[in-house]
Amino acid sequence: MKDIKTEIARIIAEQAGLAEEEALALIEIPPESSKGDYAFPCFRLAKVLRKAPPLIAADIAEKIRGNALFEKVENVNAYVNMFIDKAYFAMNTLEDVVARGDLFGRQDIGGGKTVIVEYSSPNIAKPFHIGHIRSTVIGNAIYKLYDAIGYKVVRINHLGDYGTQFGKMITAYRRWGNEEEVKKEPIKTLLSYYVRFHQEAENDPSLDQEARETFAKLEHGEEEEVRIWKWFREESLKEFTRVYDMLGITFDSYNGESFYSDKMPAVIQELRDKGLLQESQGAQIVDLSQWNMSPALITKSDGTSLYITRDIAAAIYRKKTYDFYKCIYVVASQQNLHFQQWFKVLDLMGYEWSKDCIHVNFGLVSLEDGTMSTRNGRVVFLEDVLNRAVEKTAEIVREKGVNTESIEETSKTVGIGAVIFQELSNSRIKDYVFNWDNVLNFDGETGPYVQYTHARAASVLKNAGFSGSFDVASMDLSYISGGSAYELIKEIYRFPEVIADAAEKYEPSVLTRHIVDIAQAFNKFYHDEHILVENEQEKQAKLLLTYAAKQTIKNGLELLGMKAPDKM
């Protein structure tokens, strides 16, 4: 598919005496279709050409008006408004959709360079709760976006499987635990121990000291502590995997914090050798006051490590192992300072590639009566949310008598898709309050709406006896060159550009909103036009557009981690 914007830039650059890159940067898409498909503002050319912008616009419009690419060219004040030849535009777009099918929208911007995406990263022996869905589905979408634009993506689930909380968990298990209880319901049982530990510690401070000593033993590889810790990890992973299977999410690596425990001494020594470590009340720190940040605490006074030490070790290991072009961390905005600190420490260590470590933050999820707290047992389990979404969808499917071969399969596809789509619909940086009604709302600009639109297009094609192929070059596309049909073609054409934009901004909602736009444009076309008409040429042109809309919606949903049902 030819890039129309680049072609316009070439044409204008020749006539205005500009570099193509400069012309390309100035081209705009007007807010109203009545003002053209593309517009070129001439304000910046005034100084160079020593003419008033409206005169420059009139001159450029006159010079390019006869080009076959344009149906019409107008100059309005300082703007050159360009209307693309509709038949050319339709042919250029729809031929590409048909030729590429499931690959439509994919590009080779990355050239095979390696990008690491770290996401989800729940804590072992703690609930996989609704708060984790943000990192999980945003990270999965970012992985899919970067894969779609030609990067080799490594998906890492950096499990929270180390740290002082394990000293607390092991201490609680020894005091109040029961092996059978843990085996029967691992996460909820371990959570109850963790909550009890904090309740008891309020009255018995010696528990905290016992937990610190237990974690120190774990760090030093004491056999019993390591055995219990490994057991907690294995039981937790079983439950996490069940949720990942529901979401259709997999990883290339589950190397968590513990994986880097034997790599930290070398990092600490390197920091010492480079003169970056200072002692502060028995602890080892890197002073970051020059950059208006609090000190980076590398080891505690008892010699145990912290998150930042493990994160530095992990980054160095990943660079050596994968030689990444980017290492993207999808982690909540609560951790902004932490990432600023350890990126700066990497920089001070002389690692120029520290600039290639990217923190993609996102807003927090809270409950209607306050923030979630694992310590207090105030959480909403993600698995419960997904199961309730599936149950509600099944109720709706039965009530409406939806034509489906499997109510169970349709309910999973639509219910879980609704939760994913809702998470990816808004800007990732926004905080939001978890509300069951909002999560399970299927009306409006939602996942079920988009999935239903895909199913509607599939139904039209099936009813027409669609054979599975089109000879686009021989078709008369004048039947879809106006009104709602042309507006739909424009939305489909923009799809590859939107994918690249969403990846560059680390913002899946850019793509989510565009898929809604395509669905709305198709539904308007479906409402405005009678598709299965007697005239065979007209019918084939409209079926071609229906197919293109269906294929683009399917490809878009796949990039969000969702399925596109043919029946609904």
Catalytic residues: 126, 129, 132
Q: Say how far apart CA 477 and CA 419 lie, in whole Å.
A: 38
How large is the angle between the packed helices 447-463 and 508-528, nearest 10 degrees?
40
Closest CA to 158 of 106, 133, 132, 123: 123
Range 194-199, long-range pairs (CB < 8 A, 24+ positions): 194/125, 194/126, 194/165, 194/168, 194/169, 194/374, 194/375, 195/374, 195/375, 195/376, 195/377, 196/172, 197/168, 197/169, 197/171, 197/172, 198/168, 198/375, 198/376
In 3-state terms, what secondary structure has residue 96? helix
How many Cβ atoms sit within 10 Å of the Cβ of residue 415? 26
Cross-strand partners of 39:
28, 81
Q: How far apart are CA 327 and CA 96, in angstroms?
A: 32
Q: Of 442, 435, 455, nearest to 395 (Cα)?
A: 442
268-273-275-276 Cα dihedral, nearest 10 degrees? -20
CB 450 within 8 A of CB 417: no
The percent helix, strand, coil of the chain (3-state, each to 5) is 60, 10, 30
Q: Which regions of 422-538 does DSSP assign to beta strands (E)?
A: 432-434
